[in-house]
């Protein structure tokens, strides 16, 4: 009975927020579900986070019967990671922007997951039925793989899940360590009608993508060889394996194959999400990377800032692949406990193979544009060396800004040095306050009026023997007056020709900044905790601290509305219904 009432409640809330322009819609929304306040210091306005407590990895994102689902690692009891108590939180959306938080989908209640329902993925089976495959942790800390399916396939909200009686379906054997066997990928169906799935592992100190196969999605057998491994990394967490098109901007279903298809293998290790691009032979299950993990100076990552344990899914409704990533806190754990929550998800991004075929490009999904308001535009403005100017007319603490720069004179660019192999170290040495020739130039974000606090996202251009090098940095060294926060500087090179243009987009949301350089070729996410540049006291500036002038070809900026976040009532309290 309670589940039926909740189902009716969720239907009502979807109808109301879908027509939020109707007078009184907000009041009707709040009469249905508990509205989640977002005025707390540091809490975001349009990034996904649960009402309280700890959240980490995104799990099992999918599109089912017109509704987007996001599951995530969740501690229902505290704002810290909880060994032995992690559940699968569950939220739903019709647009990937506004969310309703539901009851947990999976809780650690059975012998095969009694110490935690850890990360995993969702697979849409033939006929359109979803299944969750996840890692369970037994009482001995042995990691095993389990499956759960919806109790009611006619329920588009997937409120209840049933774990299979056959669990666990995969257990560590041979040389697989019992604590190095986790995070199954979305499964894909081969031409031989056999399912395949990758499990993250570490064997003899080498990061490994174990491959399993099944004819019925229940009985699984380990393949005689892994899909891939590396002797230059440790444990591969949260692996992902999916196809990308070489000649189209549309996404491809995870089981998709073809001559115009490459495959991406992503693994989380060394604290970051690394990926490689290559060719997958579906008949032999061999994967041939163009460049392997850690084998070149350009180590491909989804994001060069705070970003980990990501997960993609294929959105069949719009034929796109969407990427989620966990963005952890960068303050002290005691602060997380005090505020009662920890962890964000990045704003969902579309992910494509770049035109070069050598890397991926990412961009915030188009639905974000529905939050924009108070547009400000600027074209063809010169900024001489050593100058800044303020972007006014928007709420600088809750904004979306796109800017493209033209560099009139590249002849005098500083020369690169052979030892400049680590862009993050280079950004630390050549920070925003260290003047150069062409740059640093970019944005001062979440800045106080007197520039006591700011986060600088900027570029600097150098000249090599045969091409220019464009360095992108996110400098948090002056982001906060608080002493206990991490103020690391992040950096990466951007594969663009500065003789054409250099573009930057930043999503600003109180305590998170997501920046996209070169139209999404290089992404850097940072967490910042200003004490002065808060709310209306926050400012946004464009700056040029190089000696050469630069020109803003185009700048567009918007204030951002708050996304709507609601929480369904708990089992102990029946949901309220709309009164006629």
Q: What is the pLDDT of residues 222-268, one digit of tens each?
A: 999 999 999 999 999 999 999 999 999 999 999 999 999 999 999 99
- Stretch 374-382: mean pLDDT: 97
27, 57, 104, 285: which is the annotated catalytic residue?
57
**Rounded (5°) CA angle 90-506-324:** 25
Buried b (16+ CB within 10 A) or exposed e, 207-221: bbbbbbbbeebeebe
Phi, psi angles (nearest 5°) of residue 507: -95, 120
Tell me, what's the pLDDT at 380? 96
Tell me, what's the pLDDT at 22? 37
Buried b (16+ CB within 10 A) or exposed e, 312-340: bbbbeeeebbbbbbbbbbbbeeebbeebe
Contacts for 411 with CB less than 8 Å, ≥ 6 apart = none
What does DSSP assign to residue 186?
Answer: P
Q: What is the pLDDT of residues 457-490, one digit of tens each?
A: 999 999 988 889 999 999 999 999 999 999 999 9
pTM (2 decimals)?
A: 0.93
Task: Indicate the pLDDT class of residue 406, thresholds 50, 70 and 90.
Answer: very high
In the beta sheet, which residues pair with residue 63? 68
Tell me, what's the pLDDT at 29? 41
> What is the sign, positive or negative, of the torsion defined by CA atoms of 99, 273, 447, 445?
negative
Q: Where are the beta strands (DSSP E) in 270-371?
A: 272-281, 286-289, 308-315, 320-327, 341-342, 344-345, 349-353, 360-364
- Stretch 567-576: mean pLDDT: 48
Omega cis (within 30) before 168: yes
Task: Indicate the pLDDT class of residue 571, thresholds 50, 70 and 90.
Answer: very low
- How far apart are alpha carbons 413 and 460 in whole angstroms? 9
**Would the pLDDT of 2 be above 60?**
no
**Would the pLDDT of 384 be above 50?**
yes
Nearest partner of 195 among 169, 172, 221, judged by Cα: 221
- How far apart are alpha carbons 216 and 193 in whole angstroms? 9
In the beta sheet, which residues pair with residue 100? 92, 566
**Would the pLDDT of 14 be above 80?**
no
> What length does the chain have?
580
For the chain, what is the radius of gyration of the CA atoms? 24
Q: How many CB atoms lie within 10 A of CB 579?
A: 6
The overall average pLDDT reported for the chain is 92
Asked if 57 is an active-site residue, the reply is yes
- How far apart are alpha carbons 311 and 309 in whole angstroms? 7
Q: What is the pLDDT of residues 74-95, one digit of tens each?
A: 999 999 998 889 999 999 999 9
| Domains by residue range for the chain, with CATH | 54-364 (2.115.10.20), 373-560 (2.60.120.560)
Q: What is the pLDDT of residues 134-186, one digit of tens each?
A: 999 999 999 999 999 999 999 999 999 999 999 999 999 989 999 999 999 99
- Stretch 360-365: mean pLDDT: 98
Phi, psi angles (nearest 5°) of residue 369: -65, -20
Tell me, what's the pLDDT at 16? 52
């Amino acid at each position: 009975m309670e589940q039926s009432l909740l189902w009716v409640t969720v239907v009502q809330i979807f109808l109301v927020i879908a027509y939020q322009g109707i007078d009184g819609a907000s009041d009707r929304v709040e009469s249905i579900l508990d509205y989640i306040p977002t005025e707390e210091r540091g809490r975001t306005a349009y990034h996904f986070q649960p009402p309280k407590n700890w959240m980490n990895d995104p799990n099992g994102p999918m599109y089912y019967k017109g509704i987007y689902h996001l599951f995530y690692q969740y501690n229902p009891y505290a704002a810290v990671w909880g060994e032995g108590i992690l559940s699968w939180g569950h939220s739903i959306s019709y647009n990937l922007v506004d969310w309703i938080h539901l009851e947990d989908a999976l809780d650690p209640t059975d012998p095969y997951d009694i110490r935690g329902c850890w990360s995993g993925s969702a697979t849409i089976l033939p006929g359109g039925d979803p299944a969750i495959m996840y890692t369970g942790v037994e009482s001995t800390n042995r990691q095993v793989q389990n499956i759960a399916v919806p109790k009611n396939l006619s329920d588009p909200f997937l409120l209840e899940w049933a774990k299979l009686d056959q669990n666990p379906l995969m257990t560590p054997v041979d040389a697989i360590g019992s604590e190095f066997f986790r995070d199954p990928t979305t499964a894909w169906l081969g031409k031989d009608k056999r399912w395949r799935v990758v499990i993250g592992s570490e064997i003899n100190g080498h990061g490994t993508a174990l491959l399993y196969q099944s004819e019925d999605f229940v009985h699984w057998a380990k393949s005689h060889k892994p899909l891939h491994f590396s002797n230059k990394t440790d444990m591969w967490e949260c692996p992902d394996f999916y196809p990308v098109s070489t000649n189209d901007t549309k996404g491809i279903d995870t089981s998709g194959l073809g001559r115009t298809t490459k495959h991406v293998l992503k693994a989380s290790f060394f604290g970051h999400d690394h990926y490689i691009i290559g060719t997958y032979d579906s008949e032999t299950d061999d994967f041939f990377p163009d460049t392997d993990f850690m084998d070149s100076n350009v180590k491909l990552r989804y994001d060069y800032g705070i970003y980990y344990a990501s997960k993609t899914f294929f959105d069949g409704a719009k034929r796109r692949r969407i990427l989620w990533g966990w963005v952890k806190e960068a303050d002290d754990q005691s602060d997380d406990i005090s505020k009662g929550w920890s962890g964000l998800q990045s704003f969902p991004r579309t992910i494509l193979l770049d035109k070069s075929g050598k890397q991926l490009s990412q961009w915030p999904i188009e639905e974000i544009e529905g939050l924009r308001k108070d547009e400000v535009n600027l074209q063809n403005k010169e900024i001489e060396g050593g100058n800044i100017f303020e972007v006014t007319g928007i709420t600088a603490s809750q904004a979306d800004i796109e800017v493209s720069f033209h560099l009139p004179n590249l002849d005098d660019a500083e020369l690169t040095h052979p030892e400049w192999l680590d862009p993050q170290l280079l950004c630390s040495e050549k920070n925003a306050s260290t003047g150069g020739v062409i740059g640093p130039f970019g944005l001062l974000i979440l800045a106080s009026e007197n520039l006591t606090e700011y986060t600088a996202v900027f570029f600097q251009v150098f000249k090599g023997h045969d091409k220019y090098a464009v360095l992108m940095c996110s400098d948090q060294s002056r982001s906060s007056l608080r002493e206990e926060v991490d103020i690391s500087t992040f950096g990466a090179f951007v594969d663009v020709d500065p003789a054409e243009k250099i573009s930057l987009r930043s999503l600003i949301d109180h305590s998170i900044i997501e920046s996209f350089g070169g139209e999404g070729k290089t992404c850097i996410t940072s967490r910042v905790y200003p004490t002065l540049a808060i709310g209306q006291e926050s400012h946004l500036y464009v700056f040029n601290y190089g000696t050469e002038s630069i020109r803003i070809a185009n700048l567009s900026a918007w204030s951002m509305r708050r996304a709507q976040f609601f929480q369904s009532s708990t089992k102990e309290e029946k949901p309220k219904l709309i009164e006629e």
